[in-house]
Structure 1
């Protein structure tokens, strides 16, 4: 299923509501070149008294809808009982949701229910930004013999009003790809965005970051959807979104262009080397400052001096076109390492002690 060079395209309703609803949506997607038709059967909601899915009754509806357009189907499972019922109905692919991925006990229960079963499974990132938890869920499935595994990037929860429903934190799926290069990563713009107007841009960015596919929620009447109405789009809008995406190649086959980019990469390598040498020189100077402070009984942390450095460097960096977020991370990292270097000098014990 996931061992393919083609983009993996998954669409369907957030929740399976009625037999007619899921069949209508499937028919609207029949010429969309889907890899999988999705549909939520059990819906773990944040608060009680929300629609939590039709349950087991909806499994044959989803299966029949997929068969009507000759597309395999997938649904979310949160415990072993869900797995057993999905397998009994012939669901083709399962996914583990973000609220479940965060709980190793629940993931292990699902893995145990899948032991000896040959079927593809997708794992959404945990709600909190923790790559190790994400990897752990994948490893638990792999340990029971599941070989066809993909990851789904759906963003991470954050407190307060944000542009996105779930902050993308693109660096985390990139880190997962670095650590598990064999795992396909599918982007879920619906849950990242939480609203329709941002879907196209997020989907395009996922392609530009060389992710392996998309999972997007679709509904024939989005405004009347029983769950997550604000982030679902019609099958027609979905097909246009997919058509409008630009699929770029990892590398160019044009020799002249390839030589040009290699020249630029060589420049980047040289600049990086120079940056590291400058940082090393800076830390040697920090050590000298640490020695001076030790001799004169001066504290390491000087808040006024740090604020002066922070504000001045940040203002200069912004003038040079660097982003505020990058500057904050970089300046704090340099300051932390500088403190560590000074602390090592000031508290280093004599060999005679």
Structure 2
């Protein structure tokens, strides 16, 4: 790992571009460049983009590649001499003739409200890179809010929705702890107050034994309850491949010497993701999960993180959904997966 990190090239200013890649087609003044970005380049671009999902991080691409036949393909888009967007897709070349392409929660734009012509050109350049006529099966879940505008854009590319939208919620950490606490829903705040009165010790780490303990409990719970979501093995891979140890935050609540709950946060650029968690019976009785998530919010904000992605909201798990929305956030549903 240390050797791999030593081999990184110095990154470029996000406004100027990122690395030297293979020039691709241009459209309406937007140029595409594929490959060539280093890990440092990519992280700088993610930071410049602001509210970015884990699935577009360098670490996510490398973790997928480590455990599957898919490989990351990364593209950067420029207009007027500056980078305007970036995208990471996972590609599996089957027998050298058919390509299966999964593009999840991208592209990302450095301008939060990109010029519509630039946005449309970026989407068209991505679609044209993997056309169905050339044996490409592109399954695309863009980072677009569900609605008529997203439908028009994707249907204009000749695509059809195959899966309804994924729903998540973003917490803006910039107001600071006092304002964030005031924004908590009453029941959530009451549970936090009760948890703070409990004799719980909160320990933090950036991986190691605490992460191993949490992964084991999480996977055991997944098997017993038979629910989907991230596996502990994949979470461990993300932690190992993180460019900086501080990008991994494991918090564990203990009563005496006994762990009763744990959570994992992963940082990517100026955003972070609440990735997985486990709470035992004693932890639930003490509302330890509220305490851990709140501690995570405070520590991430202090470390300069602006946005926290709370992860999927699923109607089949109403308790989890209520818990996340209790942080005072509004759900956001994406347009879904298109083929």
Q: TM-score, normalised by structure 2?
A: 0.29
The structure with the largest helix share of the pair is 1
Which one has a bigger Cα radius of gyration? 1
The structure with the largest strand share of the pair is 2
Greater relative CO (CA pairs within 8 A, separation 6+): 2
